[in-house]
Amino acid sequence: MKTLWFYLAFLALPTFALADSNAQLEKQRQTFQFALKALETNQISLYRQFQERLDGYPLQGYLQYLYLRHRLEQVSTAEIQTFLDQEKDTFYAERLRAFWLERLAKQQRWQDYLAFYQPPQSAERECYQLQALLATGQRKLAFELTPKMWLVPHSQHKACDPVFARWQQAGLLTEELRKQRMMLALRDNQFSIASYLARSGPQAASELAWVERWKTIHNNPISLLKQLPANPPADNSVTLARDEALSREIIVHGLTRLARRSPEQAFEQWQRLRDHYQFSEQEQIEVRRAIGTWAALNRDDRALIYFGNIPGGEWQARAAIWQQDWRAAIKAIKQMNIDEQASTRWQYWLGRSQAGLGQDEAARETFAAIVGQRDYYSFLASDELAKPYAMNHRPISVSAEVLNDFRQQPAVQRLYEFYQQDMMLEARREGYYQSQHRSDAELQMLATITHEWGWHNQTIALLGKAQYWDALDLRFPVIFDKAMQQAGQNTGLDPSWLLAIARQESAFNPTARSHAGALGLMQLMPDTGRLISKLINRPLKQLDELYHPERNIELGSAYLKRMLDENQRNPVLATAAYNAGPHRINRWLPTEPLDATIWAENIPFNETRHYVQTVMSYAAIFDSQRNQAIKPLSERMPAIKPKTP
């Protein structure tokens, strides 16, 4: 750790001595680090000396933010306002505003609070805004804004409690609003707040009984459903036996809950009850769709029976596809809304269904209509027609002069300096802030620049925000190629497949860490990394090794090879196992040999289904990006063998 004397010696160096050994920008970067360290160690006099040397440096404002952020009790309103004005287009100005508002609320400086308040803000700060309005005599406006904060299904932040109390005292909490919020809470399964609201009404006993019925049927659906139908009591006591709107809604909730546990039981209960209540058409669809969907998720052959003739949506179509009931598949697809039908997913399966019924000419026309796009289903359609894949690469077109001018913008320079200083949390925050405040054309330029820096995951995120999908050089860069090639040689795996896994796992972020704790480029869990490293006789010495791209690729590819060996040597199953975990795949296997596209379409986890299909299509894109023959998906996706007894 450098001492105070080192910093003082640095300050004493004449400018020419520094200029001889470093460019001006490098000198400022070093000065910034010294200033940061002085601030962290509360050496304020030293910090100010370094700060004075940073005129014009893009992160000078961020230093001032840190200074103010940790000294809010000492600074004046004028200092905060000056800073917010000077740094108004930065993520840290918004953060300082939020911290300042919290302090003003704590001190009940309500006039200042309103002066600094700018939406959008958190629920807590919105509640404080209402308090501020009341405290400054703006009662009418405060009460006009109160219902929005009141009508939420969960407990609102306690900062709203004084406002709600005043609002209620003014007689503005109507029975309609109270019941409306109680129903919001019930539909969100927030039974504590629903009970609280029921107790505060004029018919507390009755409403509490209804809440209890809802809670009971939520936790144990069959316990109440099996008691129905029944003759309703002669009095007005709460009962599900009486055919009324709330009873029907609770029964529907119970049936959809039961469907999660046992579609068969839910269907039996529905068959018993449907003619005893005047269920609306929408309620009937909701029940049968829930039962059919949960059956389809379990690959239950009765799923189509459970769906019946209702428009059951995508899982009705998947159930038909799983059973290769092509007429039912066509019917389910044609019952979807126009936008869903028009998607490449369902147009591809419409074509497959037509082909399955021998309608070859219609199938070719359907496939031909979606060939030419760059996605999983278009690639599959191309295979059906024996046509090449369309990659549709359209590089971002911007002149060097325009791009250079853009680079000089303070926000771009600030982002670059965060990145250069390896302050990645701040860099990500700055990148996100810019993604929310720039035009699509500007985001494309910024993505071009971050690609040049080597910050590939940020490039991919920016282009996603701009919805510019066709710059394949930026969205699918062939990076870490030597390590990928070496891993391919060591494991016998296709480097394009490895690149596709890394692209989908981390968007090529070597330092990625998931909420679950997976690390690095190919997102390895620590225990998995340790195990695989021992199996290849190269044990991990430190977990940080997983943040090194070459090491992560070595271990990630070895793990993928293990998944391949344990799952029929089928890349589709191995990819699914890489994402969902190896223990699940056997449960998802068919009882007879099955086309891999049908199996992938019926993966019950949305994330894993998307993951497998995306990785398969990305592998083809990386074949193209690596200037080699594209391996068709029909070859990448061999048939799935049935589970063994």
pLDDT of residue 17: 42
Indicate whether 508 and 619 sit together in one domain.
Answer: yes
pLDDT over 90, % of the chain: 95
Catalytic residues: 505
Question: Tell me, what's the pLDDT at 511?
Answer: 96
CATH code, domain with 563: 1.10.530.10
On whether both 442 and 517 belong to a single domain, the answer is: no
- The pLDDT value given to residue 19: 47
Q: Are 418 and 514 contained in the same domain?
A: no
Q: Based on the fold, state whether residues 416 and 552 are members of the same structural domain.
A: no
Using the 3D structure, point to which of 105, 137, 166 is the last residue of a domain: 166
pLDDT reported for residue 236: 87
Same domain, 431 and 512: no
Q: Looking at 150, 166, 182, which one is the last position of a domain?
A: 166
Q: Looking at 421, 446, 469, which one is the last position of a domain?
A: 469
Instruction: Give domain status of residue 420, yes or no.
Output: yes
Do 437 and 485 belong together in one domain? no
Say if residue 586 is in the same domain as residue 460: no
Asked whether the CA dihedral 370, 373, 376, 378 is positive or negative, the reply is positive
Examine residue 209 and state whether it is found in any structural domain, yes or no.
no
Residues 409 and 537 in one domain: no
pLDDT interval class at 645 (50, 70, 90): confident
Q: How far apart are CA 521 and CA 392, in angstroms?
A: 27
Per residue in 280-326, pLDDT (tens digit) is 999 999 999 999 999 999 999 999 999 999 999 999 999 999 999 99
Q: How many domains are contained in the chain?
A: 3
Instruction: Confirm whether 258 is domain-assigned.
Output: no
Residue 7, pLDDT score: 52
pLDDT at 467: 97
213 belongs to a structural domain: no
Over residues 110-132, the mean pLDDT reads 97
Instruction: Categorize the per-residue pLDDT at 20 as very low, low, confident or very high, splitting at 50, 70 and 90.
Output: very low
Confidence of residue 472 (pLDDT cuts 50, 70, 90): very high
pLDDT of amino acid 23? 75
| Range of the structural domain that residue 631 is part of | 481-636
Residues 526 and 441 in one domain: no
Residue 139 within any structural domain of the chain: yes
Q: What spatial distance separates the first Cα and last Cα of the chain, rounded to whole Å?
A: 63
CB 134 within 8 A of CB 169: no
**Are residues 448 and 494 located together in one domain of the fold?**
no
Looking at 170-244, list the stretches that DSSP marks H as alpha helix, in order from N- to C-terminal side: 175-187, 191-199, 204-219, 221-225
Residue 35 lies in a domain: yes
Q: Is residue 52 included in any domain, yes or no?
A: yes
506-512: average pLDDT: 97
- What whole-number distance in Å separates Cα of residue 494 and Cα of residue 108? 63
- On whether residue 373 sits in a domain, the answer given is no
Q: Which residues contact 542 (CB under 8 A, 6 or more apart)?
A: none
- 437: domain CATH number is 1.10.1240
For the chain, the average pLDDT equals 95
What are the pLDDT digits (tens) for 397-415?
999 999 999 999 999 999 9
Per-residue pLDDT tens for 204-221? Answer: 999 999 999 999 999 999
SS3 303: helix
Tell me, yes or no, whether 108 and 157 share the same domain. Answer: yes
Integer angstrom CA distances of residue 496 from 388, 557, 637: 18, 12, 14
Amino acid, single-letter form, for residue 282: Q
3-class secondary-structure state, position 55:
coil
Q: 459 and 492: one domain?
A: no
> In percent, how much of the chain has pLDDT > 70?
97
Closest by CA to 213, choosing from 245, 253, 184, is: 253
